[in-house]
Amino acid sequence: MSPAHVESGRSIWDRRRSPEKARYHQLPPMASSYDHRAIEAKWQSRWQETGLYRVALDRVPRPYYNLMMFPYPSAEGLHVGNMFAFSGADAHGRFQRMQGFDVFEPIGFDAFGIHSENFALKIGRHPTELIATNVARFRGQLEKLGAQFDWSKTVDTTDPAYYRWTQWLFLTLWKGGFAYRARRNVKWCPQDLTVLADEQVLADSTCERCGALVTERELEQWFLRITAFTERLLANLSGLDWSESTKLLQRHWIGRSQGALLDFPIDDADPLRVFSTRPDTIFGATFMVLAPDHPRTLELTAPERLAEVAAFVAEAARRRIAGQREDENSTRGVALGRDARNPLTGARIPLYTAEYVLSGYGTGAIMAVPAHDQRDHAFAVQYHLAVVEVVSGRDGSGAHVGSGVLVNSAQFDGLGAPDPAREVITAALVEAGFGTPHVTYKLRDWGISRQRYWGPPIPAIHCPNCGVVPVPEEDLPVLLPYIEDFRPLGTGESPLARDPDFLNTTCPNCGGPAKRDTDVSDTFLDSSWYYLRYPSADRDDVPFDRELTRKWLPVTYYDGGNEHAVLHLLYSRFVTMALQQLGFLDFEEPFTQFRAHGMIVMGGAKMSKSRGNVVVPDEYISRFGADAFRLYLLYLGPYQESGNFIDTGINGPYRFVSQLLRLLDRVNAGGVELPESRELARARHRCIRRVTLDTPELKYNTAIAAMMIFVKRLREHEGPIPKVAMETLALLLAPYCPHLAEEIWERLGGDYSVHQQKWPVADESLIADEQVVVVVCINGKKRDQLVVAAGTDASELERQALALPRIQQWLDGKLVRRVVVVPDRQVNLVLTG
């Protein structure tokens, strides 16, 4: 699922030798006393032996499904971004566990897909063996991180035991009416002779692998009818507890526009239908534009213009296929030589075809209102077409897109535009039989066919007699055959077409010879349902158990990156809705809560091989330990904000964890329990409060800062450390540094495991200060301060402030016009002059 073509990072030790990069990577030698390797190994094996993170899914009373986006196991291993995300998600899960929830925290591998396949092609190894190696390496890395993963329930999308059910999902959607076949264009690289995913095409329409100009090719493909749920996908968003940024991205992607379909009469032809969100500007429609590939473009061309228009249409098609987008300032188009008529006035409106109108949106034709639309305006200027202002407020020569009052609009003059004029004119058009209110969306059906090798074969059979028939469920999985030469064929067919044993089969319907569909499905189909699989991962009789699903889903909390805000999360929502409608699920939204984490960047840039700033986490972990590394990542900045910066800062968290163990030596363990001083109690409860408030809000950085403050306070403390101080620290630290927290807890004599303890509660009555510093300002500038008992009343504060010698000097000869007192905070004296 990870987007990531993350490439191999150079060793951080190599980089130390490179002077200009050294500032990111000055890793200090280790301190002596803290043996993180021993501590972390000890607890990881203890956790495993005792099954601490295995959840009895069918029995536990307070289920909490803590999900994080599963990684794509690249050849380079987990990168820092993965570690950051998993550390944050795990801290969340551990915190919830200590609130008393039974937290199920699974992880798996999203291992199919074009990235793996391309990488395998590049290095000349087979993806089957490559992925096995990568998964093993990922698993090792994940275990070292010390997250509370339940490894008894894991998934690997390339495992036939998993993709059997991905194929089942496809069949279920198909039978339920959510899958269909259609011809559509796919991106095609003429040099690599292969189909590309959209994201493999760069902004300049070149292939990301070879740089060739990408073209299009029309192929028959499978689509999933996500548009069946467009309105629901949009409407449900407002009720979901998701990061607002994520919801906004989905709203934009769905792209709802409300308007009307309008019919413009044409002499001696059927009317031309357009979609407009601004019917109120219809009196300003001075021309109309059809997309070059609109089905009626040639039909509506005057005979004497036909040759020129046909040539233009052909040229536009060539440019479109070649992926050559017009540059912004030029607006190519040509007149058709015929007119439509304004349905309200009968006025003639010339027809054009132009590339700026797209066939795929609305009706593929528009009424152009150059006075109030920038693109129409640009076209009008270029072809010297009339510009008629119909909404007041236009200044200068551009398009006025804003609001105003209707002018030049006959009986509608004076109405506010767009509203209420939009309603009124639409009603008039509807009344006259020229319009219908209408909503359009940008969302398109989901094409899932991939003419590639590394994915689950689509379980369909093409029979010359029966047509396209589904593979019977009992014949699943349709195994992906091991093909030595898995290079793309160059015909637009999948490499599977090379394998006659795979290709040739019999029709399950008539028993006659038939051929398998040789395409594989989109990797997003694999990940669209994996959260349903986890609780039932060990079941081979069903994709997901009904009871377990009822108990554990929808997912309580989902943590992931906003790079998947649209595709993965939208597809998952669609699949859930479809399965609900088909009676397989009792809910229609899969993720109750979703939080988007930020992105780790370095030197202001995304990590990438070309920038040479990819950091390999293993060396950090082996040198400083997973605990310090987790702490470091979460301490960098606010977890949910994009643009976290990574620097040399691991020293701080590493010192912090080392200091904890030294503090531990100062505890009077075993002997007399020390009473806690008022001062230490205050510091401790302040720390509890801060960490308790900040952790569930994902403000990990400030929670960690609060613990550092408390530790600093303890280090300054002379004499033995009260045991309760370290106990509290062990508990608060458990979500962040799970190994060290266990170690401290054990050495204090606590029962295994610290992760099964209850979270401490802050006592507010112990937190308040007895003495406070009250700042004395003159005209808002600090001039002196008072130290007084907390709660000293305003008049007393004012009296004391005015009595301060330094303040007296400032008052010299001036009149105090006003005094503003903020109790326990500030006294502000406002002087005249």
Partner RNA sequence: GCCGGGGUGGCGUAAUGGUAGCCGCAGCGGUCUUAAAAACCGCAGUCCCAACGGACGUGUGGGUUCGACUCCCACCCCCGGCACCA
Tokens found for residue 495:
């490499």
Work out how close the CB of 302 gets to RNA at its nearest, in angstroms, rounded to a whole number: 23
Instruction: Assess 715 for contact with RNA (CB under 7 A).
Output: yes
Q: Residue from 702, 750, 767, 800 that binds RNA (CB under 7 A)?
A: 702
Instruction: Assess 5 for contact with RNA (CB under 7 A).
Output: no
Q: Which parts of 39-68 interact with RNA (CB under 7 A)? A: none
Work out how close the CB of 609 gets to RNA at its nearest, in angstroms, rounded to a whole number: 15
Residues 218-247, one symbol each (x = binds RNA by CB under 7 A, - = not), give: ---------------------------x--
Work out how close the CB of 818 gets to RNA at its nearest, in angstroms, rounded to a whole number: 6
Do residues 451 and 492 make contact, with C-beta atoms less than 8 angstroms apart?
yes
Q: Residue from 268, 395, 501, 716 that binds RNA (CB under 7 A)?
A: 716
Instruction: Assess 31 for contact with RNA (CB under 7 A).
Output: yes
Do residues 440 and 259 make contact, with C-beta atoms less than 8 angstroms apart?
yes
Among 723, 831, 708, 711, residue whose Cα is nearest residue 781: 831
Work out how close the CB of 165 gets to RNA at its nearest, in angstroms, rounded to a whole number: 29
Residues 719-758, one symbol each (x = binds RNA by CB under 7 A, - = not), give: ----------------------------------------
- Count Cβ atoms below 10 Å from residue 671 Cβ, excluding itself: 9
Q: Residue from 79, 97, 164, 278 that binds RNA (CB under 7 A)?
A: 278
Work out how close the CB of 655 gets to RNA at its nearest, in angstroms, rounded to a whole number: 5
Instruction: Assess 642 for contact with RNA (CB under 7 A).
Output: yes
Work out how close the CB of 206 gets to RNA at its nearest, in angstroms, rounded to a whole number: 15
Instruction: Assess 780 for contact with RNA (CB under 7 A).
Output: yes
Instruction: Assess 611 for contact with RNA (CB under 7 A).
Output: no
> Which span (22-30, 48-56, 89-97, 160-168) binds RNA, by CB under 7 A?
22-30
Work out how close the CB of 446 gets to RNA at its nearest, in angstroms, rounded to a whole number: 15
DSSP 587: -
Tokens found for residue 594:
């979703």
Place of tokens 């266990």: 742
Work out how close the CB of 331 gets to RNA at its nearest, in angstroms, rounded to a whole number: 6
Residues 807, 805: Cα–Cα separation, whole Å:
5
Q: Which parts of 296-335 interact with RNA (CB under 7 A)? A: 325-326, 328, 331-332
Work out how close the CB of 249 gets to RNA at its nearest, in angstroms, rounded to a whole number: 5
Q: Which is nearer to RNA, 457 or 653 (CB)?
A: 653
For residue 633, count CB atoms less than 10 angstroms from its CB and return exposed for 0-12, middle for 13-18, buried for 19 or more. Answer: buried
For residue 237, count CB atoms less than 10 angstroms from its CB and return exposed for 0-12, middle for 13-18, buried for 19 or more. Answer: middle
Instruction: Assess 708 for contact with RNA (CB under 7 A).
Output: yes
Among 765, 612, 759, residue whose Cα is nearest residue 101: 759
Q: Residue from 205, 701, 792, 800 that binds RNA (CB under 7 A)?
A: 701
Work out how close the CB of 241 gets to RNA at its nearest, in angstroms, rounded to a whole number: 17
> Which span (157-165, 411-419, 506-514, 778-786) binds RNA, by CB under 7 A?
778-786
Torsion sign over Cα 20, 23, 27, 31: positive
Q: Residue from 8, 14, 22, 28 that binds RNA (CB under 7 A)?
A: 28
Work out how close the CB of 638 gets to RNA at its nearest, in angstroms, rounded to a whole number: 4
User: How far is residue 757 from each of residues 55, 184, 734, 760, measured CA to CA in Å?
Assistant: 16, 57, 10, 9
Instruction: Assess 508 for contact with RNA (CB under 7 A).
Output: no
Q: Which parts of 648-677 interact with RNA (CB under 7 A)? A: 648-649, 651-653, 655-656, 658-659, 662
Instruction: Assess 345 for contact with RNA (CB under 7 A).
Output: no
Q: Which parts of 534-573 interact with RNA (CB under 7 A)? A: 562-563, 566
Q: Which parts of 420-479 interact with RNA (CB under 7 A)? A: 440, 442
Q: Which is nearer to RNA, 126 or 256 (CB)?
A: 256
Q: Residue from 135, 179, 291, 406 that binds RNA (CB under 7 A)?
A: 291
Residues sharing a CB contact under 8 Å with residue 420, sequence separation 6 or more, in sequence order? none
Q: Residue from 109, 275, 486, 624 that binds RNA (CB under 7 A)?
A: 275
Q: Which is nearer to RNA, 120 or 351 (CB)?
A: 351
Work out how close the CB of 142 gets to RNA at its nearest, in angstroms, rounded to a whole number: 25
Work out how close the CB of 328 gets to RNA at its nearest, in angstroms, rounded to a whole number: 7
Q: Which parts of 795-814 interact with RNA (CB under 7 A)? A: none
Instruction: Assess 29 for contact with RNA (CB under 7 A).
Output: yes
Torsion sign over Cα 617, 623, 627, 633: negative
Q: Which is nearer to RNA, 601 or 674 (CB)?
A: 601
Q: Residue from 41, 202, 248, 510 that binds RNA (CB under 7 A)?
A: 248
Residues 392, 592: Cα–Cα separation, whole Å:
47
Residues 491, 493: Cα–Cα separation, whole Å:
5
Q: Residue from 182, 193, 768, 773 that binds RNA (CB under 7 A)?
A: 773
3-state secondary structure of 140: helix
Residues 164, 169: Cα–Cα separation, whole Å:
9
Work out how close the CB of 825 gets to RNA at its nearest, in angstroms, rounded to a whole number: 3
Identity of the amino acid at 530: Y
- Across-strand partners of 504? 515
Place of tokens 């391309």: 118
Q: Residue from 186, 777, 786, 797 that binds RNA (CB under 7 A)?
A: 777
Residues sharing a CB contact under 8 Å with residue 131, sequence separation 6 or more, in sequence order? 73, 111, 116, 158
Q: Which is nearer to RNA, 173 or 707 (CB)?
A: 707
Residues 400, 392: Cα–Cα separation, whole Å:
8
Instruction: Assess 785 for contact with RNA (CB under 7 A).
Output: yes
Work out how close the CB of 508 gets to RNA at its nearest, in angstroms, rounded to a whole number: 40
Mapped to the 3 state alphabet, what secondary structure does 491-542 carry? CCCCHHHHCHHHHEEECCCCCCEEEECCCEECHHHHHCCHHHHHHHCCCCCC
Work out how close the CB of 822 gets to RNA at its nearest, in angstroms, rounded to a whole number: 4
Torsion sign over Cα 349, 353, 356, 358: positive
Residues 516, 506: Cα–Cα separation, whole Å:
9
Q: Which is nearer to RNA, 363 or 695 (CB)?
A: 363
Radius of gyration of the chain (CA): 33
3-state secondary structure of 164: helix
Q: Residue from 80, 421, 636, 801 that binds RNA (CB under 7 A)?
A: 636
Instruction: Assess 818 for contact with RNA (CB under 7 A).
Output: yes
Q: Which is nearer to RNA, 97 or 699 (CB)?
A: 699
Residues 587-606, one symbol each (x = binds RNA by CB under 7 A, - = not), give: --------------x--x-x
How many positions of this chain bind RNA (CB under 7 A)? Answer: 91
Residues 400, 390: Cα–Cα separation, whole Å:
10
Do residues 579 and 176 make contact, with C-beta atoms less than 8 angstroms apart?
no
Q: Residue from 44, 99, 128, 277 that binds RNA (CB under 7 A)?
A: 277
Work out how close the CB of 234 gets to RNA at its nearest, in angstroms, rounded to a whole number: 14
Burial 565-589, CB ≥16 within 10 A → b, else e: bbbbbbbbbbbbbbbebeebbeebb
Beta pairing, strands 215-224 & 446-447: antiparallel
Instruction: Assess 779 for contact with RNA (CB under 7 A).
Output: yes
User: How far is residue 352 from each of residues 233, 294, 299, 357, measured CA to CA in Å?
Assistant: 36, 11, 12, 10
Work out how close the CB of 253 gets to RNA at its nearest, in angstroms, rounded to a whole number: 7
Q: Which parts of 352-371 interact with RNA (CB under 7 A)? A: 355-366
